[in-house]
Structure 1
Amino acid sequence: MNIVLLDSRQTQSDIWKISSDRQIAHLNSHLAVKVGDTLKVGIRDGDRYLTEIIAVSEREVLLRPIQKEAVPAKLPVTLIVALPRPKVLRRIIMDAVTMGVQHIRLIHSYRVDKSYWQTPFLQQLEHYMTLGLEQAGDTIAPKIELHKRFKPFVEDVLPQLIDEHCPAYVAHPYTEQKMPFAIEHACTVIIGPEGGFIPYEIDLLIKNGCQAVSLGNRILRTETAIPYVLGRLFSTC
């Protein structure tokens, strides 16, 4: 945890209070916080501050804001992912949020097991986003949308996300065109399920404005492909 996220209701007075059992346990066990220490605190969907701890107990930590700090910038990307296995979904959401993805859309495809849409993990996305934000020192959560029908999404929704200033790249190992590197514009990135999109789905994506691009001749896991693609597209080195 590199920042403590608070709800705006917890910061209405001059003294702020951390009362979450999870956050308190982390601060006491891992950071051994004490009165006089400084702590980075963010207001959910708002500003970020450096604060001073003025009281510590097993049930709460009281803070006084000292100064406002900059919130990390987002990546100008919409990440579209075929819904993965539940345990993989948890890691993907946390990592994508930590890396600064602006918008996440989870979609269905032929190789997505229909039972995945019934997983309780989908009801816990807010928690995983919070963990990702705390890791990154961010306060602004991305918007997450679910699309349970592939063809209507690709034909009706996806074209609205694509224009000359915001192309869409679908990762596909069986194409010669390489994934761009160090771009300076917004984009949409589409990652398929384990085993990849079937030919019909790739053809439909291309027909509706996507560019099929390769990451090389190795087949990557979904949770490996996403950070690789984002790092490649938005590299500053």
Structure 2
Amino acid sequence: MNLILLFPEDFTGAGEVRLHDRRLTHITEVHRAEVGDCLKVGMINGAVGQGKVIAIDQQEAVLRVNLTREPPAALPLTLIMALPRPKMFKRTLQTAATLGVKELWLINSYRVDKSYWGSPLLEPAGLQEHLLLGLEQAGDTVLPQVHLRKRFKPFVEDELPQLCEGKRALLAHPYDAQPCPKPSDEPTLLAVGPEGGFIPYEVEKLVDAGLAPIHLGSRILRVETAIPFLLAKLFPIGP
């Protein structure tokens, strides 16, 4: 937890918050904070700054906060991802939030097991839990927007072409594809398939919608490895 995220309900007065949950545990056991210490804090979907500990015990921590800076810039990316198996999905969701993805579309695919769509991870609370962990790691505050689409064909035919407008639209696909393009700050849409990749029919539909297949070389990567690798290749590393 490199950033302690704050929510409106934490505030008990102007510039003062009281924390009782896992954030208190982190403050006491990891930071080992004492009265007078300053911690990095941020308002959900808002600014970041410092929180000075003015009181702390086993029941609560009281911080006086001063939020003065904008959170890190978001990636100009719309990420489309075939729903991974739950264990991998947790890690991938956190990674996406850490790297600055702010728009994520989870879609179906022939190789996506139907049971995955029943995972509690897809409930709002499950999604938020892992997105918050990613934001805390990155020192970010802005929650990504997550969209669920259980039907592949209607999404690709009815929604995807509009999502591609004004963007370089790319499909991560290891076969019959061009090498990954050079880093750019231009708005980008990237689709990543399930383990085993999109089937030929799905690739054809995605290409028809405007996506250009790209590859990362001869190695076949797991989704959780491919996504950070792709984002590092597609976007310039900031200062």
User: What displacement does 1:70 show?
Assistant: 2.6
User: What displacement does 1:158 show?
Assistant: 0.5
Distance 1:115 1:236 in 2: 37
Distance 1:200 1:214 in 2: 18
Structure-2 change in CA distance of 1:18 and 1:87 (3 Å): farther
Say whether the 8 Å CA contact 1:17–1:60 is kept in structure 2. Answer: no
- The AA in structure 1 aligned to 2:34 is K
Consecutive unaligned residues in structure 2, runs of 5 or more: none
Q: Secondary structure at the match of 1:34?
A: coil
Say whether the 8 Å CA contact 2:3–2:139 is kept in structure 1. Answer: yes
Distance 2:105 2:30 in 1: 34
Q: Secondary structure at the match of 2:102?
A: strand
Q: TM-score, normalization: structure 2?
A: 0.95
**Alignment match, 2:171:** 170
| Equivalence map 1:197-236=2 (5 Å) | 197-236=198-237
Say whether the 8 Å CA contact 1:50–1:69 is kept in structure 2. Answer: no
| 1:3 and 2:3 aligned | yes
**Paired-residue identity, %:** 46
Structure-2 change in CA distance of 1:18 and 1:227 (3 Å): farther
Structure-2 change in CA distance of 1:67 and 1:207 (3 Å): closer
| Equivalence map 1:27-176=2 (5 Å) | 27-123=27-123, 124-163=126-165, 165-176=166-177
Q: TM-score, normalization: structure 1?
A: 0.96
Q: Deviations over 1:11-41 (max 9, x none)?
A: 3613522424211111111110001110111
- The AA in structure 2 aligned to 1:209 is G
Q: Deviations over 1:161-217 (max 9, x none)?
A: 112x31211101002411112112011110000000000000110011111111111
Which 4+ stretches in 1 moved above 6 angstroms? none
Structure-2 change in CA distance of 1:69 and 1:12 (3 Å): farther
